[in-house]
Structure 1
Amino acid sequence: MAATRERSLILVKHDGVQRGLVGEVIRRFENRGFKLIGLKYVQATRAQLESHYEDHKGKDFFEPLLAYGSSGPAVAMVWEGHGIITAGRAILGATDPIKAQPGTIRGDYATAAGRNLVHGSDSEKAAKREVDLWFKAEELLTWHRAGAQHLHDKYSNE
């Protein structure tokens, strides 16, 4: 992925869906000038979650994470734009809400590490794997944002 087409998976986990925070998450990413290219409401399967959280396999919180992740609907999104992975992680805030800064989604709304509302890809490699896990290629749209030149001067084709 070239820098101008960097992508990130952002999930509003089911605790965020239950609390009505989907619109707030979308608003924050749109306000930063990122482009939404994929969106769907999903009920994650155990297999999907096992693959998504494969780095945590064998840890004591792995099974509770899978059980909680499959216990309700989530909203999966793919966002695109220059620096989306780094900026997306900053918008979401620290994984542990106690360490998340005010002004971040987790800092403003999350209540506990196991109820941290959202997920965001942490690297280009993870983003590619996660996007491919949650979306088929034909579910991602290519479109030009009118006025993009006002967001990123040298990345006006976003």
Structure 2
Amino acid sequence: MSKLKERTLIILKPDALHRGLVGEILSRFERKGIRPVGMKMIKMTDLLLDEHYAQHKGKHFLPRLKDFMKLLPVVLVVLEGLEVARVVRAMCGPTDGKNAPPGTIRGDFGMSISNNIIHSSEDLESAKKEIGIFFKTDELFNYERADLQFYYAEDEREN
């Protein structure tokens, strides 16, 4: 697989939706040269949240997090690009919005460790698992942006 075809998952949480930040956040990724290849809005269920947050089972914060994630619908987006999981996590900033630097999504819009605007997959392995929870193969699309040459050098586009 070309490194330009690496994929990751973001979840725009209920606070992003409620505060009208969905378009602003998505435009940051698109302006960076990262393209959405799948997107939908859903209402989270306990079943989906238990599967998604399986690694946090039994932790004290999980019930509160699950309640928060069920407040409003969330927007699920699969993003594609070069080193996309690493780049997207850097753009999101640290989990605790109070400690996130300005210029990051959480640094610009967040003040909470729980209500922190966005989830992003930790790495490509986690992304593959998480994408599989929320998306069917036929819900993901392949396309090229006409301006790709202005985001990536020729040798980066060919790898």
- What TM bracket, shorter-length normalisation? over 0.9
Query: Gapped runs of 5+ residues in structure 1?
Result: none
Report the 3-state secondary structure (helix = DSSP H, G, I; strand = E; otherwise coil) of the residue aligned with 1:126. helix
2:2–2:158 CA contact under 8 A, matched in 1: no
Q: What is the match of residue 21 of structure 1?
A: 21
Shift in alpha-carbon separation, 1:67–1:86, aligned structure 2, 3 A: same
Q: What is the match of residue 37 of structure 2?
A: 37
Q: Figure out how many residues of one structure are paired with residues of the other and give that number.
A: 158
Taking the aligned partners of 1:14 and 1:122, their CA distance within structure 2 comes to 20
Please tell me the residue identity of whatever aligns with 2:152: H
TM-aligned CA deviation for residue 3 of structure 1: 2.0
Q: What is the match of residue 103 of structure 2?
A: 103
Alpha-carbon displacement from aligned partner over 1:10-35 (angstroms, at most 9, x marks no partner): 11001110000000111100010011
In percent, how many aligned pairs have the same letter?
A: 38
Q: What is the match of residue 116 of structure 1?
A: 116
TM value normalised by structure 1:
0.95
Alpha-carbon displacement from aligned partner over 1:40-93 (angstroms, at most 9, x marks no partner): 111111110111111111110111111111121110000000011111011111
Q: CA RMSD in A?
A: 1.4
Taking the aligned partners of 1:4 and 1:30, their CA distance within structure 2 comes to 14
After TM superposition, list the pairs within 5 Å mapping 1:1-158 onto structure 2. Answer: 2-153=2-153, 154-156=155-157
TM value normalised by structure 2:
0.95
Query: Gapped runs of 5+ residues in structure 2?
Result: none
1:93–1:105 CA contact under 8 A, matched in 2: yes
